[in-house]
């Protein structure tokens, strides 16, 4: 009985060994077939062989697994490049498999295929990044967020692509993903600062950009260029915090939003972007006094920014402080004489007085003398307001709301020629 059992075990082991041997041969055959098809340019056959090998690879040894990852990554890269109709997600699969290969060989301590794959990986990074940028430009944010993040995953040193992916996710209304990416950027102390290298071409007189300082210096040394410049972009730390805060507000997590801004402001108390971020969050929370305070702090930091005065003016106006609103709109116009919205808002703020005049006229419909006196005050008010709307129209002649407002005021003050001109524009827009 014992002898029978022992022999039975030997048979089982022998059968198992034969099965494992057959599996190993099948694995190698499929990989050879894939490799041969790739070398012959037959990506469809390579894909078929790789897909068949996929189910067999779990039991393979490390050397065979590494080769499989390499050939699968290469196959799907070629499919995506030459025949994407075979698999719409070919680039995605190639990128993930390249990453699997890198992780696997890092774990095993052998980088045979990782080194061979590096040039292909660089080409894939370039292709995927270009794909993501194109999707973003075409406003296909759902696809762009994936392609751009994939670029970052394949090349973690290119943190700019994580920022791009975060922005794409935000525009896709995928707030959870956007928050995750922006939080990662914050935690890695991402600044997004870039340096632009440029010099003056002596022959053309045009300033040209260079890819690096060494290249710029070399061209200056050649004598063909002069006046080299290095210009650093502004830090994006404030923008990252702002986006985190605004996303938290979108998700209804207002306390976390304010804490994110508060923590950042402790680190960068004079950062204008963060002050504006705080203002934006406060406005989202409908804390208008807080918004006004933050905007006034921003003005102290950047006193020549017309947008800041304009925004404070808007809050003044909403809170009924017409005098304060007019003062801030005037300052915005002083700093930017072509600030259309400042002229419009100033006109609208002045017209706040019209409501009381209309109410007073309605109360004196039977007192003709009193009614006419109030009507004359209204006409005088319109005459004071008209120049601001006229200036806004000159700056934005396509704005039909301005046309309609001017038409109404011209009619009320009996400026017939001006009224007819505006009415003709209005009627033409209705056809």
Q: What is the pLDDT of residues 68-97, one digit of tens each?
A: 888 898 888 888 888 888 888 888 888 888
User: Within a domain: residue 368?
Assistant: yes
Res. 20: pLDDT tops 50: no
Lowest mean pLDDT among 122-126, 255-259, 270-274, 354-358: 270-274
**Last residue in a domain, options 203, 232, 261:** 232
- Select the highest-mean-pLDDT range: 12-16, 87-91, 178-182, 220-224: 178-182
**Last residue in a domain, options 67, 92, 110:** 110
What does the mean pLDDT of the chain come to?
86
pLDDT of residue 16: 42
Structure confidence at residue 323 as a pLDDT band (50, 70, 90): very high
Please give the Cα distance from 240 to 248 (Å, whole number).
12
* pTM of the entire predicted model: 0.59
**Do 106 and 6 sit in the same domain of this protein?**
yes
C-alpha torsion 236→240→243→249, nearest 10: -140
Lowest mean pLDDT among 163-167, 234-238, 342-346, 403-407: 234-238
User: Within a domain: residue 291?
Assistant: no
Tell which residue, 36, 78, 331, has the closest CA to residue 97.
78
pLDDT of residue 93: 86
User: Within a domain: residue 286?
Assistant: no
User: Within a domain: residue 409?
Assistant: yes
User: Within a domain: residue 340?
Assistant: no
Please give the Cα distance from 199 to 228 (Å, whole number).
4
**Do 9 and 105 sit in the same domain of this protein?**
yes
Structure confidence at residue 341 as a pLDDT band (50, 70, 90): very high
Please give the Cα distance from 370 to 362 (Å, whole number).
11
Q: How many CA atoms lie within 13 A of 118 on its CB side?
A: 6
pLDDT over 70 percentage in the chain: 92
Q: Is residue 310 classed exposed, middle or buried when 0-12, 13-18 and 19+ CB atoms within 10 A define those classes?
A: buried
Stronger pLDDT, 410 or 271, i.e. the higher one:
410
Res. 17: pLDDT tops 70: no
Please give the Cα distance from 261 to 259 (Å, whole number).
5
User: 173 and 189 in contact (C-beta within 8 Å)?
Assistant: no
Q: How many domains does the chain have?
A: 3
Range of the domain at 372: 351-431
pLDDT of residue 349: 94
User: Within a domain: residue 27?
Assistant: yes
Q: Residue 227: helix, strand or coil by DSSP?
A: strand
pLDDT of residue 181: 96
User: Within a domain: residue 309?
Assistant: no
**Last residue in a domain, options 181, 212, 232:** 232
User: Within a domain: residue 246?
Assistant: no
């Amino acid at each position: 009985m014992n002898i029978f059992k022992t022999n039975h075990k030997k048979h089982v082991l022998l059968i198992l060994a034969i099965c494992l041997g057959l599996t190993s041969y099948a694995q190698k055959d499929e990989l050879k077939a894939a490799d041969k098809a790739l070398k012959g340019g037959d990506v469809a056959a390579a894909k078929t062989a790789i897909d068949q090998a996929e189910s067999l690879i779990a039991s393979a040894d490390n050397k065979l697994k590494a080769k499989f990852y390499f050939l699968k990554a290469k196959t799907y890269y070629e499919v995506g490049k030459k025949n994407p109709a075979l698999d719409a997600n070919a680039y995605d699969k190639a990128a993930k498999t390249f990453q699997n290969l890198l992780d696997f060989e890092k774990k095993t301590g052998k980088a045979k295929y990782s080194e061979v794959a590096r040039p292909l990986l660089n080409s894939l990074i370039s292709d995927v990044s270009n794909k993501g940028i194109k999707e973003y430009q075409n406003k296909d944010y759902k696809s762009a967020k994936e392609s751009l993040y994939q670029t970052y995953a394949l090349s973690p040193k290119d943190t700019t692509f994580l920022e791009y992916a975060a922005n794409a996710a935000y525009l896709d209304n995928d707030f959870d993903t956007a928050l995750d990416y922006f939080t990662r950027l914050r935690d890695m102390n991402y600044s997004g600062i870039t340096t632009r290298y440029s010099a003056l071409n002596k022959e053309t007189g045009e300033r040209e950009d260079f890819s690096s300082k060494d290249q710029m210096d070399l061209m200056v040394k050649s004598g063909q260029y002069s006046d080299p410049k290095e210009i650093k972009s502004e830090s994006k730390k404030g923008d990252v915090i702002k986006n985190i805060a605004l996303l938290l507000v979108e998700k209804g997590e207002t306390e976390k939003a304010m804490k994110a801004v508060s923590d950042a402001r402790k680190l960068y108390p004079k950062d204008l972007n963060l002050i504006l971020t705080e203002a934006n969050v406060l406005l989202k929370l409908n804390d208008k006094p807080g918004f006004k305070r933050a905007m006034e702090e921003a003005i102290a930091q950047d006193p020549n920014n017309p947008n800041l005065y304009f925004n404070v003016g808007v809050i003044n106006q909403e809170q009924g402080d017409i005098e304060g609103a007019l003062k801030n709109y005037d300052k915005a116009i002083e700093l930017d004489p072509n600030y259309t919205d400042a002229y419009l808002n100033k006109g609208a703020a002045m017209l706040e007085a019209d409501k009381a005049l209309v109410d007073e006229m309605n109360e004196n419909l039977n007192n003709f003398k009193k009614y006419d006196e109030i009507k004359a005050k209204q006409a005088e008010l319109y005459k004071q307001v008209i120049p601001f709307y006229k200036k806004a129209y000159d700056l934005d002649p396509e704005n039909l709301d301005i046309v309609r407002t001017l038409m109404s005021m011209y009619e009320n003050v009996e400026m017939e020629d001006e009224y007819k001109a505006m009415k003709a524009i209005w009627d033409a827009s209705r056809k």
